[in-house]
Structure 1
Amino acid sequence: MKKVSILDLVFINEGQTASDAFRNSVKVAKAAEQLGYSRIWVAEHHNMPAIASAATSVVIGHLAANTKTIKIGAGGIMLPNHSPLVIAEQFGTLESLYPGRIELGLGRAPGTDQRTIRALRTSVDSSKHFPDDIRELQRYFSIESSNDPIISNPGVGLNVPLWILGSSTFGAKLAAEYGLPYAFASHFAPDSLTDAIEIYRANFIPSKQQRCPYVTLGVNIIIADTDEEAQYLSSSQKQSFTNMVRGIKMKFQPPILDINSYWRENERIVAEHMLTYSFVGSKETVQSELSKFMAEYNPDELMVVTPVYDTNKKIQSLEALMELDL
């Protein structure tokens, strides 16, 4: 069976608070650990009422403290928003607290809008330094940096595993050049998937961390007893993507019976395209469609988003996924 992991967006449900979202994520993390999932990642997003993981390293620490063995990481830290030294110190601290369990996925996008970029005291130009910032971060984690004028403490010598995240071919080229594992955000950005994988695998240069190319692909998966129930549950995510098209920010909405009464035709086209790699239905339906995806792209690992409003239903979907033949 292929490795399967979870990208937890730490949704704040309508009618709930961030505290509720963190409790829900801990419940999911504990279940995932028992079910045999490989890792759980949380992502840096700012100024989004539906997502509670803005302080990503703090959330990672909370999930790690409430689990025992499963790897916990960032999927990812948007490095242009930060000093590499600060990230090295944060993840060096996490690795010191939870040895062998902490991972650091790195993204180039800001993870927010232009106004919030300014509030973060950064700029869109910061992304131009992304390749150099990764090298600086690697240096802080290396034992060779112990005699440098500036060290990360904690951090020096810990070799926290780094991943490159991407939704275009830029990240694929960089991950190949740096010899790092690569995670593609196909769960919302399908267009460059084929090209990105081919570029990464064809140009991969082995490194101290990674001897062979390693591809993780993001997918949306919702499994329920029937196709109809799964489609009903999926309407929460479809509302979110519709609101994104509209420029509306809301908490994560409960499911609705008729999504076609919610979105307009142009919104449906955009949202469904972004959700191309979504597998929604009964176990039999998802098994059939997901098998085709696995055969076509042959990922080393799946990173699963399960955007379900009801936490118990989400856990049931995660349980059903682990019963499939992958």
Structure 2
Amino acid sequence: MRLSVLDLSLVAHGGDVRSTYRDMIELARHVEELGYHRFWLTEHHNAPGFASAAPGVLIGRVAAATRRLRVGSGGVMLPNHSPLAIAEQYGTLEALFPGRIDLGVGRAHGADPKTAELLRGRPLTKEDTFAQEVAQLAGYFGPPRAGAVRVIAAEENVPPLWILGSSEASARLAAKLGVRYVFAHHFFPQKTAAAVALYRDLFEPSAALAAPHVMIPCPVIAAETDEQARWLAGPTLMGVALGDKRPELLPTPEQASAHAYDDAARVRMDNEYARMVAGSKDTVRAGLWSLVDAIRPDELMILTPLHGIKDRLRSYELVAELTIPALKWSQHDQARGRQDQATPDPCTLI
């Protein structure tokens, strides 16, 4: 089983969009050397605390800054975009970085209703057209069809398609299409097992995928001690505790610790922390084993929403020490920048 990274592109207090992107590139290079398999970017709009409005652009930048890492969307919020435009973008990315691009799509907007209308250039409706748009998107990849609009870059450059979801509807769609599935475990951990089981039970093999393949994202914060992990989680927990009154930018642990919380807020913080796999190496090891044993995913994708880049790098290092043998490139490979796209990934996890 492989381990990967979901980067939220959070803008931290004391930083800005540019520093967020610099940290993103540093993190991607670091986790590649540690042996992580994928690096995915999210999509958010009109959200001051997120610098992830254009994941396709960020994917190209991360792919150019790395050599082996698979880079993808976690995900493209398809209702915001024309399927034709997405096919053009991701076919182009796959042509530029063959064998290294993932196309994950979701049905949410990742935006408020007004912003969503502006993105797509049409009023929102209650009609759910996600399944039709996924089929339209998939149709642009591969051989041209008679009378259909052609996406030249996508015809021979086909990134793997993933369906992202948080309900049984997404599980059913991914199973029917015979594509890879990501369930939003970090949002709805109590629903993960049922959705994953449904996907596996209903899966129909396709030309793209012979057997079901599941990845689940999980918040993971690893530190030297349990106490330090809880301290580092403070900024994220503060956002949950304050809800609509949360700071626009991710606060520092010191700011989060100094805030005066009422009893209800502290309960929300405790509940949110319990959903994370967080603590020392021993605590994180136990948490990951428990999750894997319960769900049996094919892959895990971890997100680590910490304020400081050094703390994030260290957290991913500690998890790698538990699960991944460090990836070593020979001097010959380093000189050539070889990507070994046709060979299996050497990482052995958990």
- Quick check: TM above 0.5? yes
Task: Measure the CA separation in 2 of the matches of 1:267 and 1:118.
Answer: 34
Match of 1:142 in 2: 142
Task: Say if 1:171 and 1:275 are closer, same or farther in 2 by CA, change over 3 A.
Answer: farther
Match of 2:305 in 1: 307
Q: Secondary structure, in 3 states, of the residue corresponding to 1:296?
A: helix
Match of 2:112 in 1: 113
Q: Secondary structure, in 3 states, of the residue corresponding to 2:254?
A: coil
Question: What do residues 10-58 of structure 1 show as CA deviations (whole Å, max 9, x unaligned)?
Answer: 1111121111000000000000110110100001111111111101100
Task: Measure the CA separation in 2 of the matches of 1:308 and 1:202.
Answer: 37
Task: Say if 1:119 and 1:258 are closer, same or farther in 2 by CA, change over 3 A.
Answer: closer
Task: Say if 1:302 and 1:140 are closer, same or farther in 2 by CA, change over 3 A.
Answer: same
Q: Which amino acid aligns with 1:141?
A: F
Larger relative contact order (Cα-Cα within 8 Å, sequence gap ≥ 6): 2
Task: Say if 1:228 and 1:272 are closer, same or farther in 2 by CA, change over 3 A.
Answer: closer
Q: How far has the Cα of 1:233 moved from its partner? A: 0.5
**Structure 2 residue 250 is matched with structure 1 residue 252:** yes
Q: Which amino acid aligns with 1:79?
A: L
Q: How far has the Cα of 1:115 moved from its partner? A: 2.6
Q: Which amino acid aligns with 1:131?
A: A
**Structure 2 residue 67 is matched with structure 1 residue 68:** yes
Q: Secondary structure, in 3 states, of the residue corresponding to 2:198?
A: helix
Q: How far has the Cα of 1:126 moved from its partner? A: 7.2
Match of 2:23 in 1: 24
Question: What do residues 153-212 of structure 1 show as CA deviations (whole Å, max 9, x unaligned)?
Answer: 321232221100011111111111111111111112223212111111111111111111
Task: Say if 1:306 and 1:207 are closer, same or farther in 2 by CA, change over 3 A.
Answer: same
**Structure 2 residue 174 is matched with structure 1 residue 180:** no
Paired residues for 1:42-191 under 5 Å = 42-120=41-119, 121-125=121-125, 128-145=128-145, 147-191=146-190
Q: How far has the Cα of 1:9 moved from its partner? A: 0.5
Match of 2:235 in 1: 236
Which has the greater radius of gyration? 2
Match of 2:346 in 1: none
Q: Which amino acid aligns with 1:67?
A: T
Match of 1:277 in 2: 275
Task: Say if 1:46 and 1:268 are closer, same or farther in 2 by CA, change over 3 A.
Answer: farther
Match of 2:336 in 1: none
Q: How far has the Cα of 1:118 moved from its partner? A: 2.7
Task: Measure the CA separation in 2 of the matches of 1:260 and 1:290.
Answer: 31
Question: What do residues 293-319 of structure 1 show as CA deviations (whole Å, max 9, x unaligned)?
Answer: 111111111110011111111111101
Q: Which amino acid aligns with 1:252?
A: L
Task: Measure the CA separation in 2 of the matches of 1:86 and 1:259.
Answer: 45
Q: Which amino acid aligns with 1:286?
A: V
Contact persistence 2:36–2:69 (CA under 8 A): yes
Match of 1:321 in 2: 319
Q: Which amino acid aligns with 1:136?
A: Q
Query: TM-score, normalization: structure 1?
Result: 0.93
Q: How far has the Cα of 1:241 moved from its partner? A: 2.4
Contact persistence 2:235–2:256 (CA under 8 A): no
Q: Which amino acid aligns with 1:54?
A: A
Task: Say if 1:104 and 1:258 are closer, same or farther in 2 by CA, change over 3 A.
Answer: closer
Task: Say if 1:281 and 1:274 are closer, same or farther in 2 by CA, change over 3 A.
Answer: closer
Task: Measure the CA separation in 2 of the matches of 1:256 and 1:242.
Answer: 16
Q: Secondary structure, in 3 states, of the residue corresponding to 2:294?
A: helix
Task: Measure the CA separation in 2 of the matches of 1:123 and 1:277.
Answer: 36
Q: How far has the Cα of 1:274 moved from its partner? A: 5.4
Number of residue pairs matched?
Answer: 323
Q: How far has the Cα of 1:110 moved from its partner? A: 0.6
Q: Which amino acid aligns with 1:323?
A: E
Task: Measure the CA separation in 2 of the matches of 1:185 and 1:270.
Answer: 19
Contact persistence 1:45–1:111 (CA under 8 A): yes
Q: Which amino acid aligns with 1:251?
A: L
| Aligned CA-pair RMSD | 1.9
Task: Measure the CA separation in 2 of the matches of 1:63 and 1:73.
Answer: 9
Match of 2:264 in 1: 266
